[in-house]
Structure 1
C-alpha cells in the first residue's frame, strides 16, 4: 500500500474529527468525533513512531474548521543564479522561507524570511507558484500544506548565515546535482521550476 495514501487517509480522518468537534452539538456525536480523532492519532503514531503526546500536539491539537497550513518560499536571482540557504536542522539546502505568520502578508513573510535566513534585503515582486505538497515528491508529513513561491529582488544587505541557517549562497541550475536538498521544504523539481521563471519572467503562475 502506498504510504502517502495512508497519510492522506489519516489527515482526512483527523480533519473530519476536528470539524465534527467544532460543529456537533449532540453529546454522543461529540464522543464519536473524539474517538475518531484518537484513531487518527493512533494511525499517525503507527506511521511515524512518535510518542502520543508529540503526535497530539503536532497533528491533533487545533480547534475550529481545519484548513491547510501555508509555507512561503522566497525566490531571488542574481546573474542567473538562485539563492539557497543551508538549514541548521538538517544541514541541507533549500529556498529561504517558512510558515506564514499571523499578521504578515505573504509578501511580508517572504521578505522577512529571506532577511532572517540569508542577510539579504529584498522587495517582493510577484507570485510564481501555489503548490499543494501532496502533488509533489516531498517526504510524508502530518500537516496538509500549500506552498507559495514568491519572486523577490535584492535591494541591499549581504549574504550571511541566520539563526536557523548555517550558510547562504547563489547557485546555478547546473550545480543542483551536487547539493543535498532539504526535500521536506523544496524538491529539486520545484527549484528547477523556479529557474524556469528566471529564464522566462512572463511564465504563468503555477497552480496545483
Structure 2
C-alpha cells in the first residue's frame, strides 16, 4: 500500500482530573450518554498539554494543570490515539456544558463502575505508579 493511501489517525487528549480527596472528574457525554473523563480532539496548533487544558475547560468550565502523561490509548476501530494526563484542578467550578449534560466528582470505584472499560482504564492508570501505560481498545473494551 502506498504511504499516501494509508488511513490516518486522529489524536485526542483526556484529562484525568483528581482532587486532593482522590475524587475524579467525570462527565456524562451529551452525544452518547456515557460517563467518561473529559477530553477531545487535539487541534493542530496546540501542544497535548494545551489541548487537555482547553478540552477540560470547554466541557466543564474547570481550569486544570496537567501533571504528567499517564497513558496512550488506541481505538483500533476508529484510528484514534488518545494521550491521557493526570491533572489537578486549579480554579473554577465544574458544571455542565453543550458537550456534557452532567458533571460529577466520582470516587475511583464509582468511575470504574460507571465508565466503559476503555475509559475506566485511563482513570485507573492515572492513579497508579509506573506508566505511562500503552493500551488498545475497541471503543468500549480493552483488547
- Is 2:91 the counterpart of 1:156? yes
Q: Secondary structure at the match of 1:150?
A: strand
Q: Secondary structure at the match of 2:49?
A: helix
Residue segments in structure 1 that go unaligned for 5+ positions in a row: 1-15, 21-64, 135-140, 182-186
Higher strand share: 2
Structure with the greater alpha carbon radius of gyration: 1
Instruction: Give the equivalent residue in structure 2 for 1:204.
Output: 131
Question: How many angstroms does 1:163 deviate by?
Answer: 1.8
Instruction: Give the equivalent residue in structure 2 for 1:191.
Output: 120
Question: How many angstroms does 1:128 deviate by?
Answer: 0.5
Q: Distance in 1 between matches of 2:18 and 2:65?
A: 12
Residue 18 and residue 192 in structure 1: after superposition, are their counterparts in 2 closer, same or farther (change >3 A)?
closer
Residue 205 and residue 191 in structure 1: after superposition, are their counterparts in 2 closer, same or farther (change >3 A)?
same
Residue 207 and residue 175 in structure 1: after superposition, are their counterparts in 2 closer, same or farther (change >3 A)?
closer
Q: Distance in 1 between matches of 2:87 and 2:113?
A: 25
Instruction: Give the equivalent residue in structure 2 for 1:168.
Output: 103
Question: How many angstroms does 1:157 deviate by?
Answer: 0.5
Instruction: Give the equivalent residue in structure 2 for 1:69.
Output: 10
Structure scoring higher RCO (CA < 8 A, sep ≥ 6) equals 2
**Contact 2:17–2:25 (8 Å) recurs in 1:** yes
**Contact 1:118–1:167 (8 Å) recurs in 2:** no
Q: Distance in 2 between matches of 1:95 and 1:203?
A: 20
Residue segments in structure 2 that go unaligned for 5+ positions in a row: 136-143
TM-score normalised over the length of structure 2:
0.81
Instruction: Give the equivalent residue in structure 2 for 1:101.
Output: 43
Aligned counterparts, 1:42-191, within 5 A: 66-78=7-19, 79-134=21-76, 141=77, 143-176=78-111, 179=114, 181=115, 187-191=116-120
**Contact 2:25–2:106 (8 Å) recurs in 1:** yes
Q: Distance in 2 between matches of 1:89 and 1:127?
A: 27
Residue 192 and residue 155 in structure 1: after superposition, are their counterparts in 2 closer, same or farther (change >3 A)?
same
**What whole-Å deviation, never above 9, does each CA across 1:130-166 have from its counterpart, x for those lacking one?**
12222xxxxxx4x312111011111100011112111
**Contact 2:61–2:95 (8 Å) recurs in 1:** yes
Instruction: Give the equivalent residue in structure 2 for 1:30.
Output: none
